């Protein structure tokens, strides 16, 4: 790929020259729609995440550009889709492709911002810590070690969960929050601040202090709504992504389904506490009234729906995300929009909000019309890619999936919110499939490397909290 360095002045400044807003850029790993405001699970408790998104505009039909950490983050931070970069999976290296691309953090650095990054922003934690990428890169914050024993007994790497003998302050995300609060309060004010904080949890393993497990008694846990034999009308390519003979079979055999759901809810609750601490720190800082907040989770997560666990699929549970933007003077508190958007929309939006030029390679549509009026007409659709040739398109009503072998799925969310009935082969659906299919690429570059097509976390067990 040739270096993408040309810029074009497309942005309309929101703030007057010399008074650019600060940006608090919050990334979260592996959080699906199990937040109170999205209603993904009836027992989830996220008062602080709800408090954050209520400050601005929540996007209730937002989707990742890819249902895996590496390609999702690469697409969001570069403004380039997987089929443009070849970064399709966690096994496709991103560093070589993005080394000459004006990523979001480089763009803000080049335009006079102090850029501070810590936690998980890119999938390769330290690759973007170079001097040309950040004013200062803090990297990961050390957390608790993974247990030598497998707490679930499933023997599947860090696909593991259970209470640990630790304090919240021992956790890496707690330390990351302390770091962010310190910079919000004390970073020099002679330059605008772009502060990127990447939370690790609720990424596996779901090891959280016992006090959080006490909030969700196991006997009361409700499993996700599922349908028996849900994969019967799914093509072979989709069944292969689901891998029902893997994680789900192990969970059922080990009688761990309720415990897994409990642990995910518990870990989200721990994350929510950190978000509350962060918001309080922002409110106590001199940057309170001029800080844009960009909140995003890198993809969704399955917990047994369609006999699948983790991300790495093209159904709603894997692609739907929690996303919100708080822009003082632009967004109205408590506003929501159901417009279908994806993460290629974020880069041009924050450029427009801060008055920065939009790099020439960034082709996504700005969300500014929806920030000003959540009911504004929106022609866009969300497109998600998992591996070369495999794509999903989501609009306000439909999800259309087309796999590399040409097989298809089509779901009507107005009647089938759980995507139980594949209508792709039904009569009268050709026009809908053609309309949605028009958003798919006609050409796709090769993957940057063969890589691990099965995704992350299924190999050798790591010893640190990631």
Instruction: Catalogue the active-site residues.
Output: 69, 123
Give the Cα-Cα-Cα angle 88, 345, 45 (nearest 5 degrees). Answer: 85
């Amino acid at each position: 790929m040739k270096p993408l360095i040309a810029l074009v002045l497309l942005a309309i400044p929101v703030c007057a020259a010399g008074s650019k807003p600060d940006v608090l850029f919050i990334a979260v790993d592996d959080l699906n729609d199990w937040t109170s405001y999205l209603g993904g699970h009836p027992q989830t408790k996220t008062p602080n995440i709800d408090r954050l998104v209520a400050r601005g505009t929540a996007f209730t039909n937002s989707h990742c550009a890819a249902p895996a950490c590496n390609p999702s983050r690469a697409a969001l931070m570069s403004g380039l889709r997987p089929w443009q970069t070849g970064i399709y999976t966690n096994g496709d290296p991103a560093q070589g492709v993005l080394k000459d691309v004006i990523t979001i953090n480089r763009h803000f650095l080049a335009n006079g911002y102090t850029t501070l990054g810590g936690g998980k922003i890119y999938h390769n934690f330290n690759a973007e810590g170079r001097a040309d990428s950040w004013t200062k890169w803090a990297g990961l914050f050390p957390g608790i070690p993974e247990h030598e024993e497998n707490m679930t007994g499933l023997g599947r790497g860090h696909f593991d969960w259970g209470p640990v003998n630790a304090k919240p302050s021992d956790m890496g995300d707690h330390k990351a929050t302390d770091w962010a609060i310190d910079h919000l309060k004390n970073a020099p004010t002679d330059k605008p601040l772009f502060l990127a904080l990447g939370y690790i949890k609720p990424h596996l393993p779901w090891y959280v202090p016992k006090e959080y497990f006490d909030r969700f008694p196991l006997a009361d846990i409700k499993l996700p709504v599922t349908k028996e034999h849900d994969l019967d009308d799914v093509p072979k390519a989709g069944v292969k992504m689901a891998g029902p003979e893997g994680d789900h079979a192990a969970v059922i055999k080990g009688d761990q389904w309720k415990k897994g759901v409990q642990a995910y809810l518990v870990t989200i609750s721990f994350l929510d506490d950190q978000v509350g601490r962060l918001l309080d720190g922002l409110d106590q800082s001199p940057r309170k009234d001029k800080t844009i907040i960009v909140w995003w989770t890198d993809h969704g997560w399955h917990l047994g729906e369609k006999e699948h666990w983790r991300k790495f699929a093209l159904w709603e549970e894997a692609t739907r995300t929690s996303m919100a933007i708080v822009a003082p003077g632009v967004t109205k508190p408590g506003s929501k929009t159901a417009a279908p958007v994806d993460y290629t929309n974020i880069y041009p939006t924050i450029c427009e909000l801060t008055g920065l030029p939009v790099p020439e390679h960034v082709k996504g549509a700005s969300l500014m019309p929806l920030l000003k009026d959540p009911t504004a007409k929106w022609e866009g659709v969300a497109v998600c890619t998992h591996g070369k040739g495999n794509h999903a398109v989501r609009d306000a009503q439909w999800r259309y999936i087309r796999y590399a072998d040409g097989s298809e799925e089509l779901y009507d969310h107005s009647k089938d919110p759980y995507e139980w009935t594949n209508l792709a082969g039904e009569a009268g659906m050709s026009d809908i499939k053609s309309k949605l299919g028009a958003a798919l690429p006609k050409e796709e570059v090769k993957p940057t490397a063969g890589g691990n097509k099965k995704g992350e976390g299924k190999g050798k067990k790591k010893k640190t909290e990631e």
